[in-house]
């Protein structure tokens, strides 16, 4: 396991944002035992290995078979031929996932009669594919140890799966949610019993009843500072705490921040023996009863215990015996089912010998997350059973002949037993397009290979990703290995997928799916040739674009995503469900410009300020500088333009940059030192000169009150590590864009101190610039354009440029800069050093708690936390919905999902139906509809309008193409366009056969305010 200092540059960078340092260290000292290396076991092993435990022992006594190849992605055909033990065959491939984890295999016999004392060396024991008697024996042994060994059991029986957790009689949850502690600014605190607190500016406080909070920076009722209080929520904007009416509680005056305190919680787990008859089950789908799933799973375990095997495929005799066991076990339950769904039980019996790969992926991700919880105390464990099934897929399969489900001794037997040969054939011939080959993409491809998607001649998986593999990807993008770093993701993922199943037909692209490739690579014909489209993306904008392309071309879209322990799956089916664009998340709350510039209140504000400073100083200004000389020519040409009274844009800013441009390392250091003084000393003095500490507003209240914090000038000190980090990182970035080499000698302490001792820092001079104090401007100005300049200023620019030419500081080399491209993952480039030091110096100036480099990097780099467990679970659920689509499901069979593995929360819901818009009685459309109009070369606008009059009885009031208005009657000259051809009005580029138009219809009466809506219209030129 990497040391704390190495973590940022290791495999664990994204995962660390999910689990935190304490949990990562706990895992680094933990040993895990995992028995059963079938499809579920290898998924758990993969995720646990990627997470970074100290050691993992994988145990199995079974020999690899053809059937295993349908769920066990680390087995190969040669392992089956050689009759290798499953654990031994997988050990080396598992070890490749993470060099920091010791992975060994064991083939020792393990039965209910075995001596379990060897398990004492492990902190967590996981059993899969184990007989019930063995589960009971091991669970009892683990509970009786001091401290108890955490025990987890799980299995996948056909289309049903379960996990059971027992973390002992007492288990401490250190952090229930894993979220950053909630903070809320205080507006008022009453002297009452109980005291009521309202949040500042009517912002929601975010607390829940029962939460514990502490306070800081309260003025007046200072006794609350540092105290811990329990919250009772009164409204989203108010909550109560303790009795504040006593004399110890002085009246509240001003300020204050309430901060959530993470209080450890101890929970109790019961034994497996007790839980079998009195289960604590988790609801995941409110259309299903988890007690039924529990009865089914317990009955399968009991059948295997009694017969040494699972019920036979489509065996009526076995299913009858199984149902009888279910009746008996149901009768023992405290909450027995009445009636017992015996038809569903029979189908469960028929498919129990199978194994459904999407469920092994999903349950494998969930169980691996429970292992991490057991080892770290981070997040809320499952209490105590969780059942997942794909019973919707069983619908109508009882109508198929039994022969379609019988094994054929090939890699698809486990799936064939569940779904039958006909559905298997549809998978083989599927044409699938997946965008993105990152974490989710790798998991999806693994699932597709196991299912045999696109293994027939007609089938094909097309994937695309324009990214390359980085070291930080290896922790969760499990198809990649260290020797793949800097190689394309798509082609590498394709090759690794074919390692799992050599028969997969896969076509890898390096193109980005965007408007630039819309008419070339990924055009409408490409989309229409696909049976289904899959998103494996990490940003909303790309998802929205893919959604629009699928809607336009009426293609189904399987959408999913993750963020840390959270994930979602959305099924989008043409003309059946709503689209991704139907629902919008609320926009992120923007920070007012005045807050970032002058009145930061949190470290997030200072980090954003530092990130903006980086972008302006080292990217935007150098880019503008280069563009200026490219557009205007050499300095001699620019001087001639000045002489001719021309005014090239941005001349003053560019010549100032040229004049102040360093030409040596010493000048870079000097520039950095002057910036320190300007940003962290003079800025504070300027604010305090305009708004002294006792400054009052027009209503008599103090100007400097929460959330405004008065700054204090920072005095530069070479002995301060933070101060020197800012100077060095700023100087390095300055040298980089000025193309000045920097040596180790330049960076030595002696050299830096010598240069700094000679820097002349300009004294503070008050400015008459207006300081924005109102939050009227929500964002910072985006452009660097200067206002128009006067003739005197032009002459000043000319003189300065002439002087620079004379001094040979305006040579071609000086008229080029190298803009920085912000890169958060390269710790040698100084980017995060600059942002961390600048942010923390600004935080120091405003008395804000500092943020470490780790937190700064996450916020400044907008890093999405990620962990392999969630990715595996989400990919499995998305693949399940894909299978339903291929099978031909109805709306009620599909499930959208939101999950938070940290809270053991999984919520399924039926997708929303496609919304219907009525144009007029008898005429309506959904967001999936598009009207098609076929014209020809001479087809006029009036013909286009007449088409809608004749077809729908509607009069067009608006025709628009993109942002271009084609016909708006009230616009001057537009009525004359009626006689013009559509070809003349739309002006298509060569090769364009059609254009998509937006139209509106005249309202039914003059009193109506808005035009009637219409679906998009695709107009074909007929050329």
- The two tokens of residue 201 are 């500016």
Contact (Cβ atoms closer than 8 angstroms) between residue 567 and residue 873: yes
Centroid of chain to Cα 867: 10
Q: What's phi and psi for 861, nearest 5 deg?
A: -85, 0
**At CA 733, angle to CA 727 and CA 737, rounded to 5?**
145
Which of the following is catalytic: 594, 738, 797, 815? 594
Read off φ and ψ for residue 125, nearest 5 degrees.
-120, 130
Distances (CA, A) of 469 to 423, 437, 476, 483, 488: 35, 10, 12, 10, 6
Task: Say whether 652 sits in a helix, a strand or coil.
Answer: helix
**Please, which residues have CB within 8 angstroms of residue 1013's CB and are 6 or more apart in sequence?**
917, 919, 1000, 1001
Best CA proximity match to 484, nearest among 762, 849, 494: 494
**Vertex 501, ends 498 and 504: CA angle to 5°?**
65
Tokens 């919008």: give the residue: 584
Q: How far apart are CA 336 and CA 339, in angstroms?
A: 9
Burial 981-998 (b: 16+ CB within 10 A, else e): bbbebbeeeeeeebbebe
Write out the DSSP string of 709-766. Answer: ----PPPP-TT-HHHHHHHHHHHHHHHHHTT----TTTTSHHHHHHHHHT--PPPP--
CA atoms of 18 and 373, how far apart (whole Å)? 12
User: Is there a contact between 726 and 672 (Cβ–Cβ < 8 Å)?
Assistant: yes
Q: How far apart are CA 105 and CA 201, in angstroms?
A: 59
Question: Nearest-CA neighbor of 895 among 884, 906, 904, 908?
Answer: 908
Contact predicate 248/223, CB 8 Å? yes
Please give the sequence-ordered ranges of beta strands (E in DSSP) within 473-619, or none if there are none: 506-509, 532-535, 557-563, 566-572
Sign of CA dihedral 360, 366, 372, 375: negative
Please list the alpha-helical segments (H only) found in 644-714. Answer: 651-660, 665-677, 683-690
Q: CA 498, CA 508: separation in Å to the nearest integer?
A: 12
Handedness of CA 269, 273, 274, 277 (dihedral sign): positive
Q: How far apart are CA 745 and CA 742, in angstroms?
A: 8
Instruction: Specify whether the CB–CB gap between 983 and 1021 falls below 8 A.
Output: yes
Q: Using alpha carbons only, give the angle 545, 548, 551 rounded to the nearest 5 degrees.
A: 150
The full length of the chain comes to: 1023
Q: Is the peptide bond before 577 cis (omega within 30 degrees of 0)?
A: no
Q: Is 594 part of the annotated catalytic residue set?
A: yes
Which residues form the catalytic set? 594
């Amino acid at each position: 396991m990497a040391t704390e200092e190495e973590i940022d540059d290791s495999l664990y960078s994204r995962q660390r944002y999910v689990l935190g340092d304490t949990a990562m260290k706990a895992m680094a000292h933990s040993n895990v035992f995992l028995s059963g290396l079938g499809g579920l076991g290898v998924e758990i092993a993969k995720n646990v290995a990627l997470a970074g435990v100290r050691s993992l022992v994988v145990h199995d006594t079974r020999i690899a078979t053809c059937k295993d190849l349908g769920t066990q992605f680390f087995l190969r055909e040669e392992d089956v031929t050689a009759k290798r033990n499953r654990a031994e065959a997988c050990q080396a491939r598992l070890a490749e996932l993470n060099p920091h984890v010791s992975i060994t295999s064991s083939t020792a016999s393990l039965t209910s009669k075995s001596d379990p004392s060897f398990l004492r060396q492990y902190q967590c024991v996981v059993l899969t594919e184990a007989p019930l008697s063995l589960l009971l024996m091991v669970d009892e042994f683990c509970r009786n140890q001091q401290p108890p060994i955490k025990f987890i059991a799980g299995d996948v029986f056909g289309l049903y799966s379960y996990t059971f957790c027992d973390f002992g009689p007492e288990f401490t949850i250190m952090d229930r949610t894993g979220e950053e502690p909630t903070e809320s600014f205080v507006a008022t605190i009453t002297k009452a019993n109980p005291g009521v607190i309202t949040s500042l500016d009517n912002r929601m406080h975010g607390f829940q009843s029962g939460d514990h909070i502490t306070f800081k920076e309260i003025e007046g009722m200072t006794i609350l500072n540092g105290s811990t209080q329990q919250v009772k929520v009164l409204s989203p904007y108010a909550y109560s705490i303790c009795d504040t009416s006593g004399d110890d509680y002085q009246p509240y005056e001003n300020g204050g921040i309430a901060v959530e305190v993470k209080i450890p919680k101890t929970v109790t787990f019961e034994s497996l023996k007790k839980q079998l008859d009195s289960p604590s089950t988790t609801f995941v789908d409110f259309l299903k009863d988890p007690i039924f799933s529990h009865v089914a799973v317990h009955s399968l375990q009991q059948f295997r215990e009694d017969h040494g095997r699972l019920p036979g495929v489509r065996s009526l005799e076995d299913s009858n015996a199984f149902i009888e066991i279910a009746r008996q076990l149901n009768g023992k339950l405290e909450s027995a089912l009445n009636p017992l769904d015996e038809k569903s039980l029979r189908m469960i019996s028929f498919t129990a010998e199978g194994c459904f790969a999407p469920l092994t992926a999903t349950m494998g991700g969930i169980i691996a997350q429970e292992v991490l919880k057991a080892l770290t105390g981070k997040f809320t464990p499952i209490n105590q059973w969780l059942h997942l099934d794909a019973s919707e897929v069983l619908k109508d399969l009882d109508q198929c002949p039994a022969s379609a489900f019988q094994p054929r001794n090939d890699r698809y037997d486990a799936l064939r037993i569940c779904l039958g040969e006909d559905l298997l054939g549809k998978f083989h011939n599927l044409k699938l397009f997946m965008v993105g080959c990152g974490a989710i993409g790798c998991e999806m491809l693994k699932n597709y290979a196991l299912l045999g998607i696109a293994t027939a001649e007609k089938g094909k998986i097309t994937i695309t990703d324009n990214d390359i593999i980085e070291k930080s990807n290896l922790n969760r993008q499990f198809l990649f290995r260290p020797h793949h770093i800097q190689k394309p993701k798509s082609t590498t993922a394709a090759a690794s997928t074919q390692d799992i199943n050599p028969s997969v037909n896969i076509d890898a692209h390096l193109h980005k799916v965007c408007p630039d490739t819309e008419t070339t690579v990924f055009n409408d014909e490409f989309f229409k040739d696909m049976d289904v489209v899959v998103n494996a993306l990490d940003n909303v904008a790309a998802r929205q674009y893919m959604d629009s392309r699928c809607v336009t071309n009426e293609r189904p879209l399987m959408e999913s995503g993750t963020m840390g322990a959270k994930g979602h799956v959305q099924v989008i089916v043409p003309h059946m469900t709503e689209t991704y664009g139907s629902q919008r998340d609320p926009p992120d709350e923007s920070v007012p410009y005045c807050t970032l510039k002058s009145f930061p209140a949190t470290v997030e504000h200072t980090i954003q300020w530092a990130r903006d400073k980086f972008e302006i100083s080292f990217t935007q200004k150098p880019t503008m500088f280069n563009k200026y000389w490219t557009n205007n020519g050499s300095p001699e040409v620019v001087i001639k333009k000045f002489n001719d009274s021309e005014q090239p844009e941005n001349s003053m800013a560019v010549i100032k940059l040229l004049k102040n441009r360093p030409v040596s390392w010493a000048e870079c250091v000097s520039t950095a030192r002057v910036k320190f003084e300007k940003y962290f000393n003079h800025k504070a003095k300027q604010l305090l000169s305009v708004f002294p500490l006792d400054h009052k507003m027009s209503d008599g209240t103090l100007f400097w009150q929460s959330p405004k914090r008065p700054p204090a000038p920072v005095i530069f000190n070479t002995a301060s590590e933070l101060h020197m980090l800012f100077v060095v990182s700023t100087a390095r970035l300055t040298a980089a864009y000025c193309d000045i080499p920097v040596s180790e000698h330049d960076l030595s302490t002696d050299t830096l101190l010598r240069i700094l001792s000679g820097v002349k820092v300009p004294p503070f001079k008050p400015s008459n610039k207006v300081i924005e104090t109102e939050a009227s401007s929500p964002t910072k100005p985006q452009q660097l354009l200067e206002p128009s300049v006067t003739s005197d200023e032009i002459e000043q620019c000319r003189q300065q440029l002439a002087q620079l030419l004379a001094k040979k500081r305006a040579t071609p080399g000086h008229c080029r800069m190298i803009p920085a491209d912000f890169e958060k993952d390269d710790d040698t480039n100084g980017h995060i050093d600059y942002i961390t030091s600048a942010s923390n110096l600004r935080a120091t100036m405003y008395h804000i708690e500092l943020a470490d480099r780790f937190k700064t990097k996450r916020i400044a780099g907008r890093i999405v936390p990620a962990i392999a467990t969630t990715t595996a679970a989400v990919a499995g659920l998305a693949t399940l919905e894909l299978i339903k689509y291929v099978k031909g499901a109805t709306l009620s069979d599909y499930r959208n999902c939101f999950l938070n593995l940290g809270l053991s929360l999984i919520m399924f819901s039926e997708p929303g139906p496609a919304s219907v818009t009525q144009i007029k009685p008898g005429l309506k459309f959904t967001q999936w509809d598009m009207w098609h109009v076929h014209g020809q070369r001479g087809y006029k606008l009036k013909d286009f309008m007449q088409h809608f009059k004749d077809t729908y009885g509607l009069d067009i009031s608006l025709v628009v193409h993109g942002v271009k208005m084609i016909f708006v009657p009230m616009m001057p000259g537009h009525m004359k366009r009626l006689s013009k051809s559509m070809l003349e009005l739309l002006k298509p580029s060569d090769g364009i056969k059609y254009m998509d138009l937006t139209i509106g219809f005249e309202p039914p009466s003059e009193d109506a305010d808005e035009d009637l809506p219409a679906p998009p219209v695709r107009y074909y030129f007929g050329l």
